[in-house]
Structures are given as C-alpha cells and as structure tokens.
C-alpha cells in the first residue's frame, strides 16, 4: 500500500504510520496510477456502503418510533376503556344496582 495508518476517531483524523516514497522512476508511473485508482474505487464503494447503512438505520429508527407511538396509543385506549368501565360500575353500584 501507499500509506498505512489508523483512524483516530477522537481527533477525527487519519494517523499515518507508513507512507511510500514520492519519487517514482518513469516506468513506475502507470503502476502508481493504477494503485491510486484502485484505492479511489475502494474508497468510493466504502462510502456508498456506509451511506446505505445510514439510510437503513434511519428507516429502522423511523419504524421503531412509529411502532412505539402505536403501542402508546393502544395503551392509552385501553386505559381509557378501563377507566370508563370503572366509572360505569361505580355508577351502577351508586344507584343501588348490581349483578344478580
């Protein structure tokens, strides 16, 4: 490889551990161009893959939010239903009615 290193996520930079010399003999230019072209293609593919994963994560997050909202709405409906039944039962008992 032309360069070797690691990504420092804290400092948001690439820390170079090794770099190939910049001097090329005339016969090496084609090879260097091919190596750089391959590196560029790999980087582009990696970027596309990361972007697709971000889109997928965003859509999963939206689905999760929608599902949570549906569950919360259903819980509220059940609470209201239970509260209404309690109120109706209390009203029947207060009027002197009951279950026979």
Rounded average pLDDT over 35-62 = 97
Residue 97: its pLDDT value, please?
61
The pTM assigned to this predicted structure is: 0.54
pLDDT (mean) for 30-57 = 95
User: What pLDDT was estimated at residue 98?
Assistant: 56
- When mean pLDDT is compared across 8-12, 47-51, 54-58, the lowest value belongs to 8-12
pLDDT, position 48: 97
Average pLDDT of the chain to the nearest whole number: 89
Can you read off the two tokens belonging to residue 69? 């909202």
SS (HEC) of 56-96:
HHHHHHHHHHHHHHHHHHHHHHHHHHHHHHHHHHHHHHHCC
């Amino acid at each position: 490889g032309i360069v070797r290193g690691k990504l420092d996520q804290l400092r948001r930079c690439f820390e170079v551990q090794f770099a190939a010399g910049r001097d090329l003999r005339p016969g090496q230019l084609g090879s260097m161009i091919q190596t750089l072209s391959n590196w560029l293609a790999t980087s582009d593919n990696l970027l596309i893959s990361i972007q697709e994963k971000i889109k997928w994560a965003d859509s999963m997050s939206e689905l999760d939010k929608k599902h949570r909202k549906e569950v919360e709405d259903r819980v509220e409906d059940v609470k209201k239903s239970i509260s209404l039944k309690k109120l109706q039962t209390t009203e029947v008992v207060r009027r002197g009615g009951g279950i026979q």
